[in-house]
Amino acid sequence: MNIFHHPGIQVREGMAVEIDDAIAVESRFRLILNNQFFSEMIASDDQLHELGAGFVVCEGLSDEIDSVEVRGTDIMITAKMHGAMDKELRSSGCIGVRNLPGKVRSSLSLEKDDIYRITREIETDLWRKTGGVHCSVLFHEGEMVAKSSDVGRHNTVDKVIGYAILHGIDRSSCIVGCTGRQPAGMVGKCAHAGIPVIVSRAASTDQGIAAAEKAGITLICFSRGPRFTVYTHPERIRNLYSGSGDA
């Protein structure tokens, strides 16, 4: 991911100091779906294959991807669509689910210590250095298998889920960790992809919680250090009320 350095004047406790600051770079890409222009996307310039695959599945446009190719600033995707392409959504380029997600089916369970470990991995050096990116991680069978930093929180989720899609990983046994807020659109992405657990450092909204409840997703927010808040489907967390866990 490209980083831009720009001079600035930083003031701390009333004292001004000249600095060379690290700035996140945003780029513009065109999403071409089945040889038709779908939308423009603002994103960081890495993991573009994962971004394309993840976006199509997470937005409910298709369940699987046939191929992804990147040509310059064009992300070319072929996939079997759920019905005809929605021209209004395509022209607006908005983030929003096209079809309502179904219920997530999963036998996954986890411990409190798993939540603490996932939370520790969400942060990246780039996130700490620039303050201008979000980060998401993907855990599968207790191991982190993908991590993404991007200027858009939506993109980070698309990228790590896209990794699972392109590598044939069982998404029903995955957990997504994210720095970003979890409104209904973000929760819907995981629901479309069949992800049963979301761990976020940030807040949700009333509609995000409602979407998680309906989709059967365990939604965990405000996961920071030794604390977290479980909003929906706590039954997946073993021994939730016993012990203190290892934060």
Please give the domain boundaries of the chain with CATH numbers for all domains: 112-236 (3.40.140.10)
Mean pLDDT, the chain, integer: 89
Mean pLDDT per 10-residue section of the chain, whose length is 247 residues? 80 87 88 95 95 96 95 96 58 48 94 95 74 90 94 94 97 96 95 97 95 97 94 95 73
d(CA 97, CA 101): 8
Sign of CA dihedral 25, 224, 164, 216: negative
Rounded to whole angstroms, the Cα distance separating 116 from 111 reads 9
How many residues are recorded in the chain? 247
Nearest to 99 by CA among 158, 48, 58: 58
pTM: 0.89
| φ, ψ at 139 (rounded to 5°) | -110, 140
80-139: pLDDT as tens digits: 997 655 544 443 334 444 567 889 999 999 999 999 999 999 876 766 776 778 999 999
Nearest to 145 by CA among 173, 183, 108: 173
